[in-house]
Amino acid sequence: MARVVTLADVARSAGVSISTASRALNGIGELSDETRAAVAAAALELKFQPSPIGRSLRTQRTMTIGFVVPDISTPFFAACLKGAARLLGASGYRVIAMDSDRSVEGEIEALRTLVWNRVDGLLLSTTGLTGGEFEEITTAWPTPCVFFDGVLLGAGAGCVTLDNVGGMAVLVGHLADHGHRRIAHVGGPQNESSAVERSTGFKSAAREAGMTPANTLEVFSGWDRESARRVAHALMDDAEPPSAVVASSDDIALGCLRAFRERGMSVPRDMAIVSFDDPYYGELLEPPLTTLKVDPTEIGSRAGDLLLEAIQDGDGGATRGDRDPACVRLPVELNPRRSCGCT
Amino acid sequence: MARVVTLADVARSAGVSISTASRALNGIGELSDETRAAVAAAALELKFQPSPIGRSLRTQRTMTIGFVVPDISTPFFAACLKGAARLLGASGYRVIAMDSDRSVEGEIEALRTLVWNRVDGLLLSTTGLTGGEFEEITTAWPTPCVFFDGVLLGAGAGCVTLDNVGGMAVLVGHLADHGHRRIAHVGGPQNESSAVERSTGFKSAAREAGMTPANTLEVFSGWDRESARRVAHALMDDAEPPSAVVASSDDIALGCLRAFRERGMSVPRDMAIVSFDDPYYGELLEPPLTTLKVDPTEIGSRAGDLLLEAIQDGDGGATRGDRDPACVRLPVELNPRRSCGCT
DNA sequence: TTGTAAGCGTTATCAC
DNA sequence: GTGATAACGCTTACAA
C-alpha cells in the first residue's frame, strides 16, 4: 500500500534534517544552494506533497473558505459559487459550499459547522440573520466574513450586492415610458436585504415616475415560482388590477407568467411584465421576457476578492473599525424584449 | 481573544487526564459513571468542540468528500451537489465542490487537489477521463470514488446514471407515434458516457420504430446552447431535413429552438422537438417543450449513498473485485407538452 | 548554514 | 478504571 510520502522521507532521502527540508521547500531562512537543490530533487523524486492536515494543525489555517447560500441548486447561487471558487482557487483556497435551506436556522447550523471546521473565511448570503446571531457564531472563533446578495449591514468584513435600487428605477421607468400608470411589484421575502432594497427602490421609482401611491401596488411572495403564481392571482383579483408588473426575480416572473396564462391573459397586451435577473431562456419564453441583466459569477468573485483582502488584514476581521467594511454594488443592465411592450 | 477550548481544558476542568476525557467523550472503554458525567459536564460547560484537524491528523480521515463536475453553475449539476451534500451531511461529511471546466485536464487537476487534501471519498462526473489517468490519481492515496452521470465503466466503487437508452426509446417512440419517419438526434460530446449512451439508444430506438438507417440523422454538438444552435442550422441545411428532432439535453433543445426560430420555422408544425431533461421553464416556452423528466437531486443522493457504502467497506475501495461495482440506473419519465405535436 | 526539540489537538497503546 | 506517553506531519524558535 503506497504509504504516503512525508517530509521525514524527503529529509532522509536528501540527507538533511526535517527542519532543513521544511525550510528548503518553503524557501525560508538561509540555506546553502546545494542542500536546497538536494531537498528539491528528493521531493520531486518522491513526489512529496506536504500534508495539509499536518500543516493546518501547526499553522492554524486551513486554506478553506465556507460558502453559505439559501439554495445552492439555484442557477444564481450556483454561478456565485463558481465565481468565488474560481477566484479563491487561484490563491490556493478550497471552498466548502453549504445550503441553508432558505432558513435562518439552517444558516446558523451551516455557519457553526464551518467555523468549527476552522475555515479561514466565510462567504454568506443571508436570509435574515440578526447581528446578534452573527456575532455569537463568529465570536467562538473569529472568522472574516463577506456578505453577498443577502447582506447584513454593518456586519462582516464587507459585502457585495446588486444595484437593486437603481435596477428598480430602470425597470419602472421603462414601464412608465410604455405609458403604464398603474404598476405592481411582486417582491421577495422582506427578511432579505435584496428583497427589501428592491421594494424601496420600486416605491421611490414609482414616485419618481409620477405615479400616485394609490397606483403603486405591491405584494410579496417567496422566491419560488409557485408562491409567486399564487400571489399574482391574488393581484389580479384586485378591484383595479395593474396594467404592468415588475417581478423581483426571474422565478417570480415565471410564476406570474403562469398565472397570467391560467387566466387567459395575453402578455404584453393584457399585462406587461419585466423582471430582475436575466435567465438564459428568457429569450425563448412566450413572449420573450424583458429583464435586468446581472452577473452572478461576478458577485461571487468580487466577494471572494474582498474576503481575500480581509484575510490578509488578519486579526479575523478585527482590524476594521477604523474603516467601514467595503461594500461593492454591481451594476445591472436593461435587456428589453417583448414582454414589456417593446417590439 | 477567545482562545479555543481544547480537550486538555476539559480534562483539567473535570479533574481527569486527557486520555480519560477523550474516552469519556467518545464513549470508549470502561469508565466510571461519575467521571463520564463529570467530563460531559465540563465539556458542555466549556462548549468544547473537538478539533477536526487534530482528529484528522490522528485518524487519517477528514470527513470530507470531493465533488467534481464539468460545470457547477449548471442547474443539473448544482442539483446533484445539493442532493449529495444533503445526504452526506447527514452522516457528518462535508463536501468540497470543484469545477473541471468541462475539460479532462481540469478534472485531473481537481482530483489531484482533492486527493492531496485527503478527502475520504470522491464523487465524480467525468467528461472523458481514461482508466489509466484515474488509476494514477487514486493510486497516490487510495480514495473510494463513485461516478455519476458521466461515468467510467469498470472504474471506481460504483456509479449512478440515468436510464439513457430507455429514455431515448421513449422519446423516439413518442415521435414515431406522432407519425414522424425522419427523425434527427442532436447529441452531446461523444467523449462523455451519457452522450454516448443516448446516441446508441437513439439508434436502436430508431431501428425499433421501423426507421431506415437513411432516415435516422445524427449530429453532435457541445452541451452548450450556442454550439447546439450552430449544429441545428447545419442539420436544416441537409438536402432532406428531418421532420422531428430529439435533443440530448435541455440546453441543446434551447439551441435548436433558437435556430428554428431564426429560420422562421414554426414548432411543432414545421418541426417537432423533444428533449432529455425537464427544465422548470419548459412549460412556459413557446411552444411548451416535451421532455424527459429526470431528478438530478436523486442522482446526487444515490451517488452519495453508494460512496458511503464504499467508505464503510474501507480499504480505499480496494475490496471490490469479488463483487462488481454497484451501478444504479435512475428512471426517466415522459412529460408530453406541445413541442412534439401533442395538443 | 544546519540540527534539535517543542508544540498544534487528537486518539490509541500501554502500563498501573 | 485511569494516567502517562507516543504517534499523526508539519512549522518554527532556539541552539550549535
pLDDT, block means (10 residues), chain B with 343 residues: 85 95 92 93 96 96 97 95 97 95 96 96 97 93 96 94 98 97 97 98 96 94 97 95 97 97 95 96 93 98 97 63 77 97 92
Q: Which residue is nearest to nucleotide C11 (CA to C1')?
A: B58
End-to-end C-alpha distance for chain A, whole angstroms: 68
A96: β partners:
A66, B96
Task: Fill in the DSSP letter of residue A127.
Answer: S
Can you give the pLDDT at residue A316? Answer: 46
Is strand C in 7 Å reach of the CB of B7?
yes
The alpha carbon of residue A35 is apart from the nearest alpha carbon of chain B, in Å, by 26
End-to-end C-alpha distance for chain B, whole angstroms: 68
B122: enclosing H helix or E strand: strand B121-124
pLDDT digits (tens, 9 = 90+) for A279-336: 999 999 989 999 999 999 999 999 999 999 999 986 544 444 455 678 999 999 999 9
Strand runs labelled E in B164-284: 183-187, 216-220, 244-247, 272-276
Q: How crowded is the C-beta side of B79, counted as CA atoms within 13 Å?
A: 14
Can you give the pLDDT at residue B3? Answer: 77
Can you give the pLDDT at residue B319? Answer: 47
pLDDT digits (tens, 9 = 90+) for A137-182: 998 889 999 999 999 998 999 999 999 999 999 999 999 999 999 9
Can you give the pLDDT at residue B315? Answer: 54
Can you give the pLDDT at residue B323? Answer: 58
Query: Which of B99, B95, B96 is CA-nearest to residue B74?
Result: B99
The alpha carbon of residue B80 is apart from the nearest alpha carbon of chain A, in Å, by 8
Is strand C in 7 Å reach of the CB of A39?
no
In the structure grid, which three cell numbers stand for residue A235, read together?
393581484
Is strand C in 7 Å reach of the CB of B230?
no
Cβ within 8 Å, pair A140-B47:
yes
Question: CA–C1' distance A147–D12 (Å)?
Answer: 35
Can you give the pLDDT at residue A325? Answer: 75
Geometric angle at alpha carbon A195, from A193 and A200, rounded to 5°: 95
Considering chain A, what percentage of its residues have pLDDT values greater than 70?
Answer: 96
**Considering only alpha carbons, which residue of chain A is nearest residue B46?**
A140
Q: Hey, is A141 helix, strand or coil?
A: coil
Distance (Å, whole) CA B61 – CA B57: 8
Query: Which of A190, A195, A131, A133 is CA-nearest to residue A167?
Result: A195
A94: β partners:
A64
Q: How crowded is the C-beta side of A329, counted as CA atoms within 13 Å?
A: 7
**Which nucleotides of strand D lie under 7 Å from a protein CB?**
1-5, 7-13
**In this complex, how many residue pairs, one in chain A and one in chain B, have their CB atoms less than 8 Å apart?**
128
CA R_g for chain B: 26
Cβ within 8 Å, pair B116-A261:
no
Cis peptide before A296 (omega within 30 of 0): no
Residues whose C-beta lies under 7 Å from strand D: A 4, 6-8, 18-19, 22-23, 25-26, 28, 48-51, 53-55, 57-59; B 15-20, 23, 29-32, 34-36, 57-58, 60
Can you give the pLDDT at residue B324? Answer: 67
Question: Alpha helices, DSSP H only, in chain A?
Answer: 7-14, 18-26, 33-46, 52-59, 75-90, 104-116, 131-140, 164-177, 193-208, 225-236, 250-262, 296-313
Phi-psi region of B118 (alpha: psi -120 to 50; beta: other; left: phi over 0): left
Contacts of residue B264, Cβ cutoff 8 Å, sequence gap at least 6: none
Can you give the pLDDT at residue B313? Answer: 83
Of B1, B53, B257, the CB nearest to A118: B53
**Considering only alpha carbons, which residue of chain A is nearest residue B287?**
A286
Task: Fill in the DSSP letter of residue B254.
Answer: H
Q: Hey, is B216 helix, strand or coil?
A: strand
Is strand C in 7 Å reach of the CB of B58?
yes
CA R_g for chain A: 26
Write down the residue that cell numbers 528548503 correspond to: A24
Closest nucleotide relative to residue B36's CA, C1' based: D1
Q: Are B310 and B317 in contact (CB under 8 A)?
A: yes
The alpha carbon of residue B96 is apart from the nearest alpha carbon of chain A, in Å, by 5
Q: Give the mean model confidence (pLDDT) for residues A61-84.
A: 97
Of A56, A95, A285, the CB nearest to B281: A285
The alpha carbon of residue A246 is apart from the nearest alpha carbon of chain B, in Å, by 18
Measured CA to CA in angstroms, residue B58 lies from A60, B16, B22 at distances of: 16, 21, 13
Q: Give the mean model confidence (pLDDT) for residues A124-133.
A: 96
Closest nucleotide relative to residue B53's CA, C1' based: C9
Cis peptide before A75 (omega within 30 of 0): no
Measured CA to CA in angstroms, residue B206 lies from A76, A207, B302 at distances of: 38, 61, 31
Which has more confidence, A29 or B49? B49
Query: Which of A146, A148, A100, A101 is CA-nearest to residue A119?
Result: A146
**Which window residues (10-39, chain B) lie with Cβ within 7 Å of strand C?**
18-19, 22, 25-26, 28
Of A49, A99, A140, the CB nearest to B2: A140
Phi-psi region of A29 (alpha: psi -120 to 50; beta: other; left: phi over 0): left
In the structure grid, which three cell numbers stand for residue A121, read together?
473565511
DSSP B6-18: -HHHHHHHHTS-H
Mean pLDDT of chain A: 94
Contacts of residue B291, Cβ cutoff 8 Å, sequence gap at least 6: B250, B253, B274, B275, B276, B277, B278, B279, B282, B334, B335, B337
Edge-to-edge strand list for the sheet holding A94-99? A326-330, A158-162, A145-148, A121-124, A64-69, A94-99, B94-99, B64-69, B121-124, B145-148, B158-162, B326-330
User: Does the pTM exceed 0.85?
Assistant: yes
Can you give the pLDDT at residue B30? Answer: 85
Task: Fill in the DSSP letter of residue A118.
Answer: T
Mutate to test the interface with A, among B48, B59, B72, B143 (most CBs of A within 10 A): B72
**Which nucleotides of strand C lie under 7 Å from a protein CB?**
1-5, 7-13
